[in-house]
Structure 1
């Protein structure tokens, strides 16, 4: 049975609101997800919140009712509240109908099964949460095995990254690693490391990509470090016919991922 919280000073409200900050997410091991679409995607991927907040006026919505029942059946707690508290939790002027609290979804590098997919996405020092969220969506779209985050990347569980992923956060395995650790793991089994770079003459549609392909994309502003490029099996670039010298990192990842996917589909 849902309990009701309408007071802004409630300790649970304060604790959940603190999850908007990275240090508190790290301490608690939980993060926020908002909206019926994202929470439904999570449910379909087998993830239910440990805490579910909803506005009283949305209680009759069929999806809200289903989420309430599923969360309670799974041992989670359901909280009925008011829109102003949902606004306080989300930080948005027009808060979503529901907000869920979920445990972190990180997968250890050693636990990855590289045979799970022909495509893996690897991002290095990615700083923009919108880019990372979009890359997670791309990974879901092309059936990637997951996203491996190298070095100091943006927090994938930030409110902004979760929003941008549109639920793909729950369908993709997410792994963090240092470069040396990743390379040691990568070279312990099959896998072609393909880097995107301006320092090459290889057009991205020219090579034949091996399976599994690990697509490496660098920092939005600086690209890949030179020594990282030198460690790649192959460097490719996307032709730029206008004045810009490169695409947005998330867009470039999507273009590359679909080229790799299409090659593998053609072979199939």
Structure 2
């Protein structure tokens, strides 16, 4: 285990922490803790600061392995001696991040959970530049129109990563992919999946330059999703949880497909439907190893 670096004591916690410093904090009213809580709960603050919160040692480890810029690492006193936590803290300090050694009350305040994660990180947001989307190099992209549920979005990001998709375009007024609930649902895939964003108007203009198929799912689709021709490059469009793709988005599709259903359910969960589509599109490219 790497040696635990020296840290400031609780008496000095009112002052700002310097980058690379380890600081002990026991008060939930500390300004740094208030800022992390604001990032965890307020989309407006995340947007202003260009930062977000990730909870749990796995997500923190994934982020640093992917070289995401880290600003702050918070860990509970109960786990400070664990080798993986010590290693994460050492890496964060080496990258200029502030490291906070806190008690359970502070972690509970940050995570809003009675049984909080013992490691929390504050990272910089990273958005993929839409001008870098290259169908020749990345032949499978997913467009999500006005998605509202952060859990659904996080699950879609995770599934897109699992099938080897090349990126996701958030279209219109979508939920925040950097909300705590969305980040948690990605299980670390947020750090590996390129995410771009466009207004609907900008997307419809950009779509004209897409050289391949644009596949949309729709209740009025006449093609069974299993019988559609999926050729590279493919852009998969998925609509809102409540009403699906709007008319102008369906008009932008080259094919509208439908997923057959039995039973009494009137629709599939958005994340499930997207997963079904992605695995069908990637059917010939996904093989078991060994």
Q: TM-score, normalised by structure 2?
A: 0.88
1:89-128 alignment runs, 5 A limit? 89-128=110-149
Residue 11 of structure 1 pairs with residue 31 of structure 2: yes
Q: Which moved more, 1:29-38 or 1:256-265?
A: 256-265
Aligned counterparts of 2:136 and 2:85: Cα–Cα separation in 1:
37
Larger Rg: 2
Contact 2:161 2:193 in 1 (8 A): yes
From 150, 154, 172, give the equivalent of 2:175.
Answer: 154
1:211-230 alignment runs, 5 A limit? 211-230=232-251
Q: Deviation at 1:144? A: 0.9
Contact 1:48 1:71 in 2 (8 A): no
Contact 1:133 1:156 in 2 (8 A): yes
Aligned counterparts of 1:231 and 1:186: Cα–Cα separation in 2:
8
From 188, 207, 210, give the equivalent of 1:167.
Answer: 188
Q: Deviation at 1:115? A: 3.1
Unmatched tracts of structure 2, length 5 or more = 6-21
Q: Deviation at 1:264? A: 4.2
Contact 2:163 2:286 in 1 (8 A): no
Aligned counterparts of 1:185 and 1:76: Cα–Cα separation in 2:
38
User: Alignment partner of 1:231: what SS?
Assistant: coil
Over the aligned positions, Cα root-mean-square deviation in angstroms equals 1.5
1:180-199 alignment runs, 5 A limit? 180-199=201-220
**Count of aligned pairs between the two proteins:** 266
Moved over 6 A (4+): none
Q: TM-score, normalised by structure 1?
A: 0.95
The structure carrying a bigger helix percent of its residues is 1
From 75, 79, 91, give the equivalent of 1:70.
Answer: 91
Unmatched tracts of structure 1, length 5 or more = none
